[in-house]
Amino acid sequence: MKDEKERFHYARKLLLRYQQASLIVTSRLHCALPALAFGTPVLFLFNEQWNESEKCRFGGLMKMLNVIYVTEKKGFRSTDIDLNEKISMDSTP
C-alpha cells in the first residue's frame, strides 16, 4: 500500500484532471461531486440495476447532475434534462 504522502499526491493529480477536463462521464460520486465543485460539466451514468442500498446514497444529489440512466435490458435512457442547458457545447472539444 502506498504511504499517505503518495496517496495525497495522487488525489491532487486526480482533482487537477477533474478541474481541467472539458467533460466528465462517470458513475462514481467521488468523481462527479468534485468535478461539479470545479464547474466541470458531468454526465452521470446511473445503473438502474443497483440495489436499494446503493441507490439511496444519491438522494437529492441527482438534481445536481446530468443523468443518463443505464438499464441492462434497454441500454441507455437519458433524463428529461436539456443537456444543452447545463453543458455548453462551446466548452467541449
Q: Which residue has the higher pLDDT, 64 or 20?
A: 20
Position 7 scores a pLDDT of: 92
Q: What does the angle CA 46 – CA 47 – CA 50 come to, to the nearest 5 degrees?
A: 125
> What are the residue boundaries of the structural domains of the chain, listed by start?
4-80
Residue 92 pLDDT greater than 50, yes or no: no
Express as a percent the part of the chain with pLDDT over 70: 75
Residue 93 pLDDT greater than 50, yes or no: no
- For 49-76, the pLDDT digits (tens) are 777 777 777 777 878 888 888 776 655 5
Integer CA distances (angstroms), 90 to 1, 9, 26, 27, in order: 42, 32, 21, 24
CATH 3.40.50 fits 4-80, yes or no: yes
Q: Which residue has the higher pLDDT, 16 or 29?
A: 16
Question: How much is the pTM?
Answer: 0.70
Q: Which spans in the chain are helix H?
A: 4-20, 29-38, 52-55, 83-86
Q: Which three cell numbers stand for residue 88?
A: 455548453
Q: Which three cell numbers stand for residue 2?
A: 502506498
